[in-house]
Amino acid sequence: GENVEQHPSTLSVQEGDSAVIKCTYSDSASNYFPWYKQELGKRPQLIIDIRSNVGEKKDQRIAVTLNKTAKHFSLHITETQPEDSAVYFCAAYPPSGNTGKLIFGQGTTLQVKP
């Protein structure tokens, strides 16, 4: 089955710097890759997603890139702000059986220092 590895597990940056979180997946049939942000004590919330027919997607300071050949995708946050501090989860969707199951990475704790 699908397996998603996420790195790094923790990331500390200065306010205004960029942050990059990387994920690799194993199932080449996976075709949808969402990213979730979870603030302390709250639910994970979708911040951006990308489908396998697209190489890059941007939404203001956030971008996601996908390399299908290498089977990895990355989250890029530019001009980081203290409110970006949270745990970020990547996920992959292997399209089997209409279950809608996502396979999540282990999470990255991002700390943005003011």
Partner 1 sequence: SQTIHQWPATLVQPVGSPLSLECTVEGTSNPNLYWYRQAAGRGLQLLFYSVGIGQISSEVPQNLSASRPQDRQFILSSKKLLLSDSGFYLCAWSRGQGGETQYFGPGTRLLVL
Q: Compute the distance between CA of residue 95 and CA of residue 83 in angstroms, rounded to an integer.
A: 34
**Which residue has 């997607």 as its token pair?**
57
Nearer to partner 1, 60 or 98 (CB): 98
Binding residues for partner 1, rule CB under 8 A, total: 21
Q: How far is the CB of 16 from partner 1 (least distance, A)?
A: 27
Burial 20-41 (b: 16+ CB within 10 A, else e): bbbbbbebeebeebbbbbeeee
The total of other beta-carbon atoms located within 10 Å of residue 43's CB is 8
- Residue 73 contacts partner 1 per CB under 8 A: no
Token pair 């190489």 is at which residue? 55
Question: Considering only residues 4-63, where is the footprint of partner 1 by CB under 8 A?
Answer: 32, 34, 36, 42-46, 49
Beta carbon nearer to partner 1, 12 or 18: 12
Choice between 71 and 101, CB closer to partner 1: 101
**Interface residues toward partner 1, by CB under 8 A:** 32, 34, 36, 42-46, 49, 89, 93, 95, 98-102, 104-107
